[in-house]
Amino acid sequence: MTAAQAQRTVEAIWRIESARLIAGLVRMVRDVGLAEDLAQDALVAALEQWPTSGVPDNPGAWLMTIAKRRAIDTFRRERRLERKQEELGRELEIAQSTEPPELEAAIDGDDVGDDLLRLIFIACHPVLSTEARVALTLRLLGGLTTPEIARAFLVPEPTVAQRIVRAKRTLADKQVPFEVPSGPERAGRLSSVLEVLYLIFNEGYSATAGDDWVRPALCEEALRLGRVLAELTPREAEVHGLVALMEIQASRLRSRIGPSGEPVLLLDQDRATWDQLLIRRGLAALDRAEAIGDAPGPYLVQAAIAACHARARTAEQTDWARIAALYQVLIELIPSPVVELNRAVALAMAYGPAAGLEVVDALTEEPSLREYHLLPSVRGDLLARLGRYDEARTELERAASLTRNNRERDLLLQRADECARDAVSAR
What pLDDT digit, counting tens, does each position of 70-94 carry? Answer: 888 887 776 655 555 556 555 555 5
Q: With beta carbons less than 8 A apart as the criterion, state whether 156 and 150 touch.
A: yes
pLDDT value at residue 99: 41
CA dihedral 104, 106, 109, 114 (to 10 degrees): -140
Tell me how far apart the alpha carbons of residues 60 and 112 are, in angstroms, rounded to a whole number. Answer: 12
- Residue 177 pLDDT: 86
pLDDT tens digit string along 144-160? 888 888 877 778 999 99
pLDDT for residue 358 = 97
Strand-pair partners of 404: 209
* Phi, psi for residue 126 in degrees, rounded to 5: -60, -15
3-state class (DSSP) for residue 210: strand
For the chain, give every domain's residue range. 3-109, 112-213
Across 168-199, b (16+ Cβ under 10 Å) vs e yields bebbeeeeeebebeeeeeeeebbbbbbbbbbb
Mean pLDDT, consecutive 10-residue segments, the chain of 427 residues? 75 84 89 91 89 87 91 74 56 50 41 76 91 91 84 85 94 87 81 91 84 85 91 93 98 93 92 96 98 95 98 95 98 95 98 97 94 96 97 97 93 96 89
Neighbours of 399 (CB within 10 A): 26
Rounded Cα–Cα distance for residues 13 and 23 (Å): 16
